Amino acid sequence: MHKFHDPASPAETTIDFDAFLAVDIRIGTVVAAEPFPQARKPAIKLTIDFGPGIGTKRSSAQITRHYQPETLIGRQVAAVVNFAPRQIGPFMSEVLTLGFPDDAGEVVLFAPDQGVPNGSRLF
């Protein structure tokens, strides 16, 4: 199991606040979702609207254990929007959708408990 999945792992090395601010985490609404059978690990292709400042971006998310594409439409999700795009098979993933592992290491999406404007930044 990767150390990120281990709830008993200690906190990472201390960083300064500027390092935290360098990671741009925003909220967006899923506007399209479809299976991604070409992915090495089961995944869903997401199209996420981050509002007028960032626009619509795509993400490949390994979330098939708890989610079906049709249940994701309209859901708000958090994502890192300032990583370089990553080619995943025939698909270009532009943002990293965020989640936490459940007891089995399967991804549970991270989202606000109330609706917030698309493009809102985590602070």
Interval 17-54: pLDDT, tens = 999 889 999 999 999 999 998 888 899 999 999 999 99
Q: Where are the domains of the chain?
A: 3-109
**pTM above 0.75?**
yes
Superfamily (CATH) of domain 3-109: Nucleic acid-binding proteins (2.40.50.140)
> 18: helix, coil or strand?
helix
Distance between CA atoms of 73 and 32, rounded to whole angstroms?
Answer: 6
Distance between CA atoms of 25 and 106, rounded to whole angstroms?
Answer: 21
Tell me which residue of 70, 87, 74 sits closest to 35, measured CA to CA. Answer: 70
pLDDT recorded at residue 8: 75
The total of other beta-carbon atoms located within 10 Å of residue 29's CB is: 19
Confidence of residue 101 (pLDDT cuts 50, 70, 90): very high
pLDDT recorded at residue 2: 54
Give per-residue burial for 37-57: e unless 16+ CB within 10 Å, then b.
eebeeebbbbbbbbeeebeeb
Which residues neighbour 113 within 8 Å (Cβ) at sequence distance 6 or greater?
none
Distance between CA atoms of 114 and 36, rounded to whole angstroms?
Answer: 29
The total of other beta-carbon atoms located within 10 Å of residue 75's CB is: 15
Distance between CA atoms of 80 and 65, rounded to whole angstroms?
Answer: 22
pLDDT recorded at residue 1: 45
Confidence of residue 9 (pLDDT cuts 50, 70, 90): confident
